[in-house]
Structure 1
Amino acid sequence: MFKNTENFNSASTIPKKAMLPIYKDFYGQYVILKKLDLEELDLLYEKTHGSDELITVWQYLPYGPFNSPEEMKQFYANYLTSSTKLVFCVHSAKTQEPIGITCLEDINPDMGTIEVASVLYCKSVQKTEANTETVYLLMKHCIQELGYRRIAWRCNSNNEASKRSALRLGFEFEGIFYNHMIVKNGNRDTAWFGLIDQRWPPVSKNLETWLYHSKPEHRGSLFQLNTMVKGYSNVIMKDKSDSLSNVLTH
């Protein structure tokens, strides 16, 4: 009979619970995060609607675009009532204007898991430092201050830009849930990525080096920095010509 049962019940082997996140303001060099104020959606609606090009930011989200600012406000008003997500408006630190929305979702402090999700940015700030610093600030808060062990990122498996973003931010590809959802464009296969606390020290150093380099023109590719972190697993991109040297560098 196996007798070493104490190892299964030892308190030292059980991770501590994380703390429940609450709304707070985050101040970075490029962005400021605050709890979404519905009145800010008038400007965000204008920046994400009105032309075929502007509304492409909604392509892979399960909701949107909206018929009016009022409809958009009603949707996010319901989001704000959720007990399992926090909804942040991303502002430009330079202009103070709202430029996007990012959420913390699937919050499970007992298991120490949380997700960065429902990411939306107006077209003009894509491929800038905005999303990188936003995710960095949230991950730093969740892991270093609240004690979360795992941060998830998931997206439509057809969304190549989101998959590249996950990788360059330090997430690892974990697999695909096939036939995971039925969304506005039909079936959705979901690509899953994760960042665990053991990987955070080198990833956070890379993010800080890239974001706050004294000479931005010499900072190189964040994708390359984070894909060299030990334990990294490559995601298979649809375009087989993709390589570490020709993917997104912003």
Structure 2
Amino acid sequence: MAFNITLHPSGSIVARTLSARIAALEQIAPNVLIVTLELPATESFDFRAGQYITLLFDDGERRDFSLANAPHERGLVQLHIRLAQGSLSTRMFTEVLKLHDILRFEGPIGSFHLNPESTKPIIMLAGSTGFAPVKSILDDMAYRDIRREVHLYRGARDRAELYLPHLPEQWAKTIPHFTHVPVLSEPTPACHWAGRTGLVHQAVLQDFADLSAFEVYGCGAVAMLEAARRDFAAHGLPSEAFFADAFTPAPAKK
């Protein structure tokens, strides 16, 4: 489930209930499934990069997922599903639902999106499938030619969790002053990893001792974001410059 820690106004886009067809199911990492939903040709779905939707399953269960595609990619919705034992979403998308099935969802929801009134340099913090809304925001920035300095710090346990590794290279070509720092917390010898290790938010502090001039956009586990908010504030980040969308695991369906 996603919830916002720090918000700014989301404007006049109104959430509503829509139906969409499952157009693609692609497992791109051992624990990540990309789900693409196709809207009817007669429907339009407006949202802001970084927002999320709530999937409505037939048994009455509801699950929140960040939108991974950018708003200009009309007619579709892309979700990044973290695969985990005991997860209802994992069971639904690997055992129950199939291509061309119809799903209902509510959205868009949430105020996690780029602050339109700021020109400050940005630090983006993404853990696991918290990469999804960050991807949406960065794709949107590239499309709209938003020329703000961006430093993406992406955390994962091992190299396999750094899915869609080609995207940072694309953003470096289309977003001026873009840098990407992947950080692994538990690399194994099989990873052959020569990059940064440890906690991803601590990598930010190793590179930037003073955060007073930045805005931070973070998405991932609650513990990661709470640690980042606390430690970044101690290094000068104003509380109103920290925007976060935290993922809390939904209870397993019995």
For normalisation by structure 1, the TM-score amounts to 0.28
Which has the larger share of helix? 1
Which protein, 1 or 2, shows the higher relative CO under an 8 Å CA cutoff with sep ≥ 6? Answer: 2
When normalised by structure 2's length, the TM-score is 0.28
Greater strand fraction, Structure 1 or Structure 2: 2
Higher Cα radius of gyration: 1
